[in-house]
Amino acid sequence: MNRKKSVLISAQEKELLQRLKNSKSKDNAFRELVNQSKKNLYFQIRRLLLNHEDTNDVLQNVYLKIYRSIQKFKEESKLSTWMYRIAYNESINYLKSKEKKYFFSSEIMYNTMINNLRQDPYFDGDELDIKLQSIISKLPPKQKLVFQMKYYQNKKFKEISQILGTSEGALKASYHLAKNKIKKQISENQTF
């Protein structure tokens, strides 16, 4: 038996969705959606890509995908959850294509990304932040994202589960593994 999960969508989100799906109001509603969501989506993508220009490129692709496929949104989750899922998939696809095109391995790519982070005028962290980002960047993609969503964005496992399409139990295990790997790296590298 296939049961649809009940999702609590606010009246405000419902109204925005109606305007997004109406050809006459779609453009204005989409501008509103971008204004509401761009900061959160930017930082979700940025935590994976670590580079301002790459993040902006992926963010544009995310919004293009959202604009083109809003009619297909089935309202089985919150709109923001659906958008985060698109952002996650686009970010992972971008990293994979970048790795294939420019690098021999993920490790070389992440080392290059961390070095570029030091040069990035939009990064406002210090050397400790760079070291932490270096450790986080070496985690497997799903562990990294789960850790970042939980630690930086304070998202609940239930919401992360909806975004990533993974069970809460598996996410808790990923978070625990990521946290332990980070602690281990910090304790082994006492130069912090």
Residue 1: predicted pLDDT:
39
Cα first-last separation, the chain = 54
- What pLDDT was estimated at residue 8? 65
pTM reported for the whole predicted model: 0.72
The residue-averaged pLDDT of 155-173 equals 90
* 31-79 pLDDT per residue, tens: 999 999 999 999 889 888 888 889 999 999 999 999 999 999 988 888 9
Q: Are 86 and 44 in contact (CB under 8 A)?
A: no
- pLDDT of 2 > 50? The answer is no
Residue 51 backbone class (left: φ over 0; alpha: ψ -120 to 50; beta: rest) = beta
